Structure 1
Amino acid sequence: MGLPKHGFVSWLVGVLFLCTLLLCVADIHYYEFFVRESNFTKLCNTTTLLVVNDSYPGPEIRVRRGDTVYVNVHNQGNYAFTIHWHGVRQPRNPWSDGPEYVTQCPIEPGTNFTYEVILSDEIGTLWWHAHSDWTRGSVQGAFVILPAENETYPFPTPDADQTIILQSWYNEDYKQIIDQALATGLAPRQPDAYAINGHLGDTYGCPNGAFWH
């Protein structure tokens, strides 16, 4: 026994109104990533890293649950790579990344590609990174997904938040470290230092402005 005609129409109008409301709440965000080599001086030593927008770590993506993110990635470096949106469930196609590893088409040097990252039920602090053994060491950043506009936190709303990224720092090219590890069959050597959001702090004893880029 189905709904009366007027009841079905009311139900359909309600569904369309709800869908329209959800679409109005969700936002679309655009980011430009320029991936290239940049020099960083730390531990009294200048090292060249492949980074995004000359920043280590890369820019933070901060959005809300249900939003859509477009990231136009320009490869101005010397190696092909892809970007992995860690923890974000994407449609399984050659240009996106799902909950499992899938084949991705690399962005070749001198080209660009725009990723469409469609958020559904993801929430919390995730991260994005390049998808290879050595490029992910410096091509990386935070992916913060806040509750939707019409949602509350599952805990008391914080007064503020601070993203903290812990990193390993090497006084040489990351690619050389990984190549050496693959050649010997051993794990990469211990890092020369550890960083918080790209900063080594003042405990490593190098006074010549080595604690920031």
Structure 2
Amino acid sequence: MLSGKRNSASALQILSLLLLFLHCQASSHNYHFVVKEATYTRLCSTKEILTVNGKFPGPVLQAHKGDTIYVNVHNNGRYNITIHWHGVKQPRYPWSDGPEYITQCPIQPGHKFKQKIIFSEEEGTIWWHAHSDWSRATVYGAIIVYPKRGASYPFPQPNEEVPIILGNSSS
């Protein structure tokens, strides 16, 4: 009888350590997006555009495969907005993935929404962008998803990374 209890306790301890180890392999990151209009000059043309944190293109997000990112999106613009995490699978978690009135309600002006992005299978450079009407033209940025911690690259590890994002805001 006593031996059975010890085995159960040992199995429970091993299971607890395994769960702790698995939890420590992935981590979470927090980002804050403030969506607002800003004056930008490009190619001798000045106009008001929608930006994220005053930047165009917006900030680069970084994570490892298996990580979770939380993005607090504060909409200080004049129109509703949603953000789509292009190339990210969101199984059983569609309400942080874009098309307004389809998978989520838009973030109304003056409101905020905390989005959860789970990088379960993704690796490489993908992107995020607004998914609301004309705001797609200027509200976007890169997402760099590194291999899982401890995993090797399938090629020599780069010395430096410079994301290049092409877009057109002239219309």
TM-score range, shorter chain: 0.7 to 0.9
Q: Is the 8 A contact 1:94 1:105 kept in 2?
A: no
The within-5 A match list for 1:14-33 is: 14-33=14-33
Deviation at 1:84, TM superposition (A): 0.4
Q: CA deviation at 1:115?
A: 0.5
Give the TM-score of the pair, scaled to structure 1: 0.69
Question: Which residue does 1:125 correspond to in 2?
Answer: 125
SS of residue in 2 equivalent to 1:22: helix
Distance 2:166 2:34 in 1: 22
Aligned length: 166
Q: Is the 8 A contact 1:91 1:97 kept in 2?
A: no
How far did residue 123 of structure 1 move?
1.0
Offset at 1:61? 0.3
Measured against aligned partners, the alpha-carbon deviations of 1:20-68 in whole angstroms (never above 9, x if no partner) come to 2121121111111000110001222211111100100000101111111
**1:9 Cα deviation from its structure 2 partner:** 7.7
Distance 2:42 2:68 in 1: 37
* Structure 1 residue aligned with 2:84: 84
CA drift of 1:11 comes to 6.8
CA displacement at 1:8 relative to structure 2: 8.6
Letter in 2 for 1:111: H
1:164 has 2:129 as partner:
no
Residue type matched to 1:60 in 2? V
TM-superposed deviation, 1:86: 0.9
Counterpart position of 1:211: none
User: For residues 92 and 121 of structure 1, what CA distance do their matches in structure 2 show?
Assistant: 14
Q: CA separation of 1:12/1:157 partners in 2, compared to 1, >3 Å: closer, same or farther? A: farther
* Structure with bigger gyration radius: 1
Match of 1:199 in 2: none
Aligned-partner SS, 1:115: strand
Structure-2 separation of matches of 1:54 and 1:116:
22
Q: For 2:52 and 2:151, how far apart are their aligned partners in 1?
A: 32
